[in-house]
Protein backbone atom coordinates (compact mmCIF):
# COMPACT_ATOMS: atom_id res chain seq x y z
CA UNK A 1 0.00 0.00 0.00
CA UNK A 2 1.07 3.56 -0.69
CA UNK A 3 2.01 5.40 2.53
CA UNK A 4 0.38 8.83 2.86
CA UNK A 5 0.79 11.26 5.77
CA UNK A 6 -1.97 13.74 6.65
CA UNK A 7 -1.68 17.09 8.48
CA UNK A 8 -4.99 18.66 9.64
CA UNK A 9 -6.01 22.30 9.80
CA UNK A 10 -6.68 24.64 12.71
CA UNK A 11 -8.90 22.98 15.32
CA UNK A 12 -9.18 19.79 13.28
CA UNK A 13 -8.03 16.24 13.87
CA UNK A 14 -8.01 12.94 11.97
CA UNK A 15 -11.82 12.82 11.88
CA UNK A 16 -11.83 15.41 9.10
CA UNK A 17 -10.10 12.95 6.76
CA UNK A 18 -12.46 10.02 7.26
CA UNK A 19 -15.17 10.90 4.67
CA UNK A 20 -12.50 11.44 2.03
CA UNK A 21 -10.61 8.25 2.87
CA UNK A 22 -13.85 6.26 2.90
CA UNK A 23 -14.37 7.37 -0.71
CA UNK A 24 -11.03 6.03 -1.95
CA UNK A 25 -11.16 3.09 -4.35
CA UNK A 26 -7.58 2.04 -3.57
CA UNK A 27 -5.95 1.11 -0.29
CA UNK A 28 -3.43 3.50 1.21
CA UNK A 29 -1.40 3.32 4.39
CA UNK A 30 -2.65 6.48 6.11
CA UNK A 31 -0.77 8.09 8.99
CA UNK A 32 -2.50 10.97 10.78
CA UNK A 33 -0.22 13.65 12.13
CA UNK A 34 -1.24 16.30 14.65
CA UNK A 35 -0.06 19.88 15.03
CA UNK A 36 2.38 20.05 17.97
CA UNK A 37 1.73 22.60 20.72
CA UNK A 38 4.85 24.65 20.04
CA UNK A 39 5.53 28.35 19.69
CA UNK A 40 6.56 28.83 16.07
CA UNK A 41 6.07 27.37 12.62
CA UNK A 42 9.75 26.41 12.52
CA UNK A 43 9.49 24.50 15.80
CA UNK A 44 6.28 22.79 14.68
CA UNK A 45 7.87 21.68 11.38
CA UNK A 46 10.98 20.38 13.13
CA UNK A 47 8.81 18.36 15.51
CA UNK A 48 6.56 16.95 12.78
CA UNK A 49 9.52 15.78 10.70
CA UNK A 50 10.63 13.61 13.61
CA UNK A 51 7.43 11.59 13.08
CA UNK A 52 8.30 10.84 9.44
CA UNK A 53 10.36 7.98 7.99
CA UNK A 54 13.74 8.70 6.43
CA UNK A 55 12.45 7.78 2.98
CA UNK A 56 10.48 10.40 0.97
CA UNK A 57 6.74 10.42 1.65
CA UNK A 58 3.46 11.61 0.18
CA UNK A 59 2.42 14.51 2.41
CA UNK A 60 -1.12 15.94 2.45
CA UNK A 61 -1.93 19.12 4.34
CA UNK A 62 -5.29 20.82 4.81
CA UNK A 63 -5.61 24.58 5.50
CA UNK A 64 -3.02 25.39 8.20
CA UNK A 65 -1.72 21.86 7.64
CA UNK A 66 -1.20 22.78 3.99
CA UNK A 67 1.03 25.68 4.97
CA UNK A 68 2.93 23.51 7.45
CA UNK A 69 3.34 20.74 4.87
CA UNK A 70 4.73 23.24 2.37
CA UNK A 71 7.11 24.69 4.96
CA UNK A 72 8.27 21.17 5.83
CA UNK A 73 8.85 20.26 2.19
CA UNK A 74 10.93 23.39 1.67
CA UNK A 75 12.93 22.88 4.86
CA UNK A 76 13.40 19.13 4.36
CA UNK A 77 13.02 18.54 0.58
CA UNK A 78 14.61 15.11 0.79
CA UNK A 79 11.75 13.91 3.03
CA UNK A 80 8.84 14.65 0.65
CA UNK A 81 8.04 12.80 -2.57
CA UNK A 82 4.75 14.51 -3.45
CA UNK A 83 3.21 17.55 -1.77
CA UNK A 84 -0.60 17.84 -1.61
CA UNK A 85 -1.97 21.19 -0.41
CA UNK A 86 -5.69 21.53 0.25
CA UNK A 87 -7.51 24.82 0.95
CA UNK A 88 -4.38 26.86 1.54
CA UNK A 89 -2.14 29.45 -0.05
CA UNK A 90 1.37 29.08 1.42
CA UNK A 91 1.95 32.78 1.90
CA UNK A 92 1.57 35.50 4.52
CA UNK A 93 -1.92 36.04 5.88
CA UNK A 94 -3.78 39.21 4.82
CA UNK A 95 -3.39 42.12 7.24
CA UNK A 96 -7.09 42.02 8.10
CA UNK A 97 -6.87 38.36 9.12
CA UNK A 98 -3.77 39.01 11.24
CA UNK A 99 -5.65 41.76 13.08
CA UNK A 100 -8.69 39.54 13.54
CA UNK A 101 -6.54 36.74 14.98
CA UNK A 102 -4.89 39.19 17.38
CA UNK A 103 -8.32 40.34 18.56
CA UNK A 104 -9.36 36.71 19.01
CA UNK A 105 -6.30 35.92 21.13
CA UNK A 106 -6.96 38.93 23.35
CA UNK A 107 -10.64 38.00 23.67
CA UNK A 108 -9.76 34.45 24.69
CA UNK A 109 -7.44 35.74 27.42
CA UNK A 110 -10.23 37.76 28.96
CA UNK A 111 -13.37 35.76 28.27
CA UNK A 112 -12.28 32.18 27.64
CA UNK A 113 -13.47 30.04 24.75
CA UNK A 114 -17.13 29.25 24.20
CA UNK A 115 -16.72 27.27 20.97
CA UNK A 116 -16.76 28.10 17.29
CA UNK A 117 -19.71 30.39 16.39
CA UNK A 118 -22.33 29.14 13.94
CA UNK A 119 -21.59 32.10 11.67
CA UNK A 120 -17.94 31.09 11.45
CA UNK A 121 -18.87 27.49 10.63
CA UNK A 122 -21.15 28.58 7.80
CA UNK A 123 -18.48 30.93 6.46
CA UNK A 124 -16.25 27.89 6.00
CA UNK A 125 -18.84 26.10 3.87
CA UNK A 126 -20.33 26.54 0.43
CA UNK A 127 -23.98 27.68 0.74
CA UNK A 128 -25.10 24.30 -0.62
CA UNK A 129 -23.83 22.73 2.63
CA UNK A 130 -25.32 25.22 5.11
CA UNK A 131 -28.04 22.74 6.10
CA UNK A 132 -25.72 19.72 6.29
CA UNK A 133 -25.88 19.00 10.00
CA UNK A 134 -23.39 16.12 9.70
CA UNK A 135 -20.62 18.44 8.50
CA UNK A 136 -21.60 21.25 10.89
CA UNK A 137 -21.72 18.92 13.88
CA UNK A 138 -18.33 17.39 13.09
CA UNK A 139 -16.66 20.80 12.79
CA UNK A 140 -18.15 21.85 16.12
CA UNK A 141 -17.23 18.57 17.81
CA UNK A 142 -13.57 18.71 16.72
CA UNK A 143 -13.44 22.31 17.88
CA UNK A 144 -14.99 21.48 21.26
CA UNK A 145 -12.73 18.47 21.84
CA UNK A 146 -9.55 20.45 21.11
CA UNK A 147 -10.66 23.46 23.12
CA UNK A 148 -9.55 27.02 23.78
CA UNK A 149 -5.98 26.24 24.85
CA UNK A 150 -5.23 24.55 21.53
CA UNK A 151 -6.90 27.36 19.57
CA UNK A 152 -4.91 30.03 21.39
CA UNK A 153 -1.63 28.18 20.86
CA UNK A 154 -2.31 27.53 17.17
CA UNK A 155 -3.21 31.16 16.55
CA UNK A 156 -0.18 32.50 18.42
CA UNK A 157 2.27 30.15 16.72
CA UNK A 158 1.04 30.32 13.14
CA UNK A 159 -0.37 33.79 12.44
CA UNK A 160 2.91 35.35 11.25
CA UNK A 161 3.84 33.42 8.11
CA UNK A 162 6.48 33.77 5.44
CA UNK A 163 5.51 33.98 1.80
CA UNK A 164 6.60 30.50 0.67
CA UNK A 165 5.46 31.16 -2.90
CA UNK A 166 8.73 32.94 -3.62
CA UNK A 167 10.94 29.89 -3.09
CA UNK A 168 8.44 27.15 -3.88
CA UNK A 169 9.18 26.96 -7.65
CA UNK A 170 12.73 25.92 -6.73
CA UNK A 171 11.43 22.85 -4.89
CA UNK A 172 11.91 19.99 -7.32
CA UNK A 173 8.92 17.85 -6.34
CA UNK A 174 5.35 17.59 -7.61
CA UNK A 175 3.02 20.07 -5.88
CA UNK A 176 -0.69 19.41 -6.10
CA UNK A 177 -3.08 22.16 -4.98
CA UNK A 178 -6.80 21.68 -4.44
CA UNK A 179 -9.23 24.45 -3.52
CA UNK A 180 -12.96 24.99 -3.22
CA UNK A 181 -14.67 27.24 -5.72
CA UNK A 182 -16.31 29.31 -2.95
CA UNK A 183 -13.53 29.19 -0.33
CA UNK A 184 -13.60 32.59 1.38
CA UNK A 185 -10.10 32.04 2.80
CA UNK A 186 -8.26 31.18 -0.43
CA UNK A 187 -7.63 33.36 -3.48
CA UNK A 188 -8.07 31.20 -6.55
CA UNK A 189 -6.53 33.93 -8.70
CA UNK A 190 -3.38 33.91 -6.54
CA UNK A 191 -3.12 30.13 -6.79
CA UNK A 192 -3.72 30.26 -10.53
CA UNK A 193 -1.01 32.88 -10.91
CA UNK A 194 1.40 30.75 -8.91
CA UNK A 195 0.91 27.51 -10.85
CA UNK A 196 1.61 29.40 -14.06
CA UNK A 197 5.13 30.00 -12.76
CA UNK A 198 5.88 26.43 -11.64
CA UNK A 199 5.85 23.53 -14.10
CA UNK A 200 5.68 21.06 -11.21
CA UNK A 201 2.57 22.65 -9.67
CA UNK A 202 -1.05 21.93 -10.62
CA UNK A 203 -4.32 23.34 -9.28
CA UNK A 204 -7.68 21.58 -9.07
CA UNK A 205 -10.78 23.63 -8.20
CA UNK A 206 -13.82 21.82 -6.80
CA UNK A 207 -17.28 23.28 -7.56
CA UNK A 208 -19.92 23.74 -4.87
CA UNK A 209 -17.20 23.55 -2.24
CA UNK A 210 -16.01 26.02 0.39
CA UNK A 211 -13.04 25.71 2.72
CA UNK A 212 -13.76 22.29 4.24
CA UNK A 213 -12.89 20.25 1.15
CA UNK A 214 -12.54 16.76 2.68
CA UNK A 215 -15.96 17.10 4.34
CA UNK A 216 -17.86 18.94 1.61
CA UNK A 217 -16.55 17.03 -1.43
CA UNK A 218 -15.03 13.79 -0.10
CA UNK A 219 -15.43 11.80 -3.32
CA UNK A 220 -13.87 14.50 -5.47
CA UNK A 221 -11.01 14.87 -2.99
CA UNK A 222 -10.46 11.12 -2.97
CA UNK A 223 -10.36 11.03 -6.76
CA UNK A 224 -7.94 13.98 -6.83
CA UNK A 225 -5.59 12.22 -4.42
CA UNK A 226 -5.82 8.81 -6.13
CA UNK A 227 -5.02 10.14 -9.57
CA UNK A 228 -1.94 11.95 -8.34
CA UNK A 229 -0.56 9.07 -6.30
CA UNK A 230 -0.25 6.95 -9.44
Phi, psi for residue 121 in degrees, rounded to 5: -60, -50
0.85 exceeded by pTM: yes
The angle at the Cα of 165, spanning 209 to 163, to the nearest 5 degrees, equals: 100
* pLDDT, position 14: 97
Give a yes or no: residue 197 inside a domain: yes
Would you call 179 helix, strand, or coil by DSSP?
Answer: strand
- The strands making up 80-86's β-sheet, listed across from edge to edge, are 28-32, 2-7, 57-62, 80-86, 174-180, 201-206
Please state, in angstroms and rounded to a whole number, the distance separating the CA atoms of residues 28 and 5.
Answer: 10
Name the residue among 208, 229, 212, 230 with its Cα closest to residue 17: 212
Contact 172, 220 (CB under 8 A): no
C-alpha 90: how far from its chain's center? 10
Residue 86 lies in a domain: yes
Between CA 95 and CA 159 the distance in angstroms is 10
Domain assignment present for residue 45? The answer is: yes
In order of 7, 22, 62, the CA distances from 70 in angstroms are: 11, 25, 11
pLDDT at residue 75, rounded to an integer: 97
Span 142-154, pLDDT tens digits? 999 999 999 999 9
Residue-wise pLDDT for 56-66, tens only, equals 999 999 999 99
Residue 202 lies in a domain: yes
Q: pLDDT at position 1, please?
A: 83
Within-domain flag for 115 = no
CATH code for the domain in which residue 21 is found: 3.40.50.1820
Could you report the per-residue pLDDT of 10-38, keeping only the tens digit for each? 999 999 999 999 999 999 999 999 999 99
Q: What is the pLDDT along the chain (230 residues), one digit of tens a residue?
A: 899 999 999 999 999 999 999 999 999 999 999 999 999 999 999 999 999 999 999 999 999 999 999 999 999 999 999 999 999 999 999 999 999 999 999 999 999 999 999 999 999 999 999 999 999 999 999 999 999 999 999 999 999 999 999 999 999 999 999 999 999 999 999 999 999 999 999 999 999 999 999 999 999 999 999 999 97
What is the pLDDT at residue 200?
97
In this structure, the strands spanning 174-180 and 57-62 are unpaired
Q: Phi and psi at residue 190, in whole multiples of 5°?
A: -65, -40
Is residue 29 in a domain? yes
**Closest CA relative to residue 178, chosen from 138, 219, 148, 144:** 219
In a domain, 204, yes or no: yes
Range of the domain at 166: 2-93+156-229
pLDDT of residue 37: 97
The answer to whether residue 190 is domain-embedded is yes
Give me the number of domains the chain comprises.
1
- Closest C-alpha among 67, 38, 39, 84 to residue 163: 67
Which of these, 67, 63, 108, lies nearest to 214 by C-alpha position? Answer: 63
Amino acid sequence: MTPVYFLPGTMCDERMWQPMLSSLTVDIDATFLSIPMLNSIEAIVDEVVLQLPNTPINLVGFSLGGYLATALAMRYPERVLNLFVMANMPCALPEAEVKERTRTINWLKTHGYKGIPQKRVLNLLDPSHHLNQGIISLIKQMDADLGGEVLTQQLKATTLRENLFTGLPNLAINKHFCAGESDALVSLSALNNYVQTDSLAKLTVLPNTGHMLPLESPSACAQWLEQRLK
